[in-house]
Amino acid sequence: MTATDYTLHTAFLEDHRHLTKGLAGLLESLRRNNAPRATTIARELDRVAGPHMAFEETVLYPELQGRLGKSFIDQLYHEHALGQEAVSHLVHRAESGPLTPPERSTLIEQVETALEHALSCGSLLSYLDTLSTERHNEMLQQLLDMRAQERLWTDLPKRPGHVP
């Protein structure tokens, strides 16, 4: 693949494949009540999802809000917050033992929402087709810059009104 073949679409889809796979594995681990495995996956998701979530929340969503409406974009932020809360809970969990039934139930609900979001968020790519090539390239560079910063998902600011 040449540098010109690497597009915002390619990068976005690449990120979503990682997110979907990680969230699906996390959900399976939670359903099997395998807290150690869920924590391991959450730590990996924290690392790989951070740059993409930062990109979506600071670049993509503001770009699309005028087209899709504030309430729709607010829902996307809320879905991110649920996933971030689940990952944060597992990453920062003091105990190494099993999850309590209510704790596990809440985490499953949060991860189910985050997984559904990751599966459907790829449809936002069609909106990117309406942007100029120049804007595409700017946004790709912003995503690549965020990847280079290696921010964790759990380190991203919680948006007021979007925290579960």
Determine which helix (DSSP H) or strand (DSSP E) holds 76, and give its type and residue range.
helix 70-91
Residue 163 has pLDDT above 50, yes or no: no
pTM here?
Answer: 0.87
- For the chain, the farthest-separated pair of C-alpha atoms sits apart, in whole angstroms, at 51
Residue 2 has pLDDT above 50, yes or no: no
Mean pLDDT of 136-163: 85
Query: Measured between alpha carbons, how far is 53 from 16 in angstroms, rounded to an integer?
Result: 10
Angle at the Cα of 26 (from 55 to 21), degrees rounded to 5? Answer: 60
Quick count: other Cβ atoms within 10 Å of Cβ 34? 15
Residue 4 has pLDDT above 70, yes or no: no
Query: Measured between alpha carbons, how far is 159 from 70 in angstroms, rounded to an integer?
Result: 14
- Write the pLDDT tens digit of every residue in 80-124: 999 999 999 999 986 777 899 999 999 999 999 999 988 887 678
Q: What is the pLDDT of residue 77?
A: 92
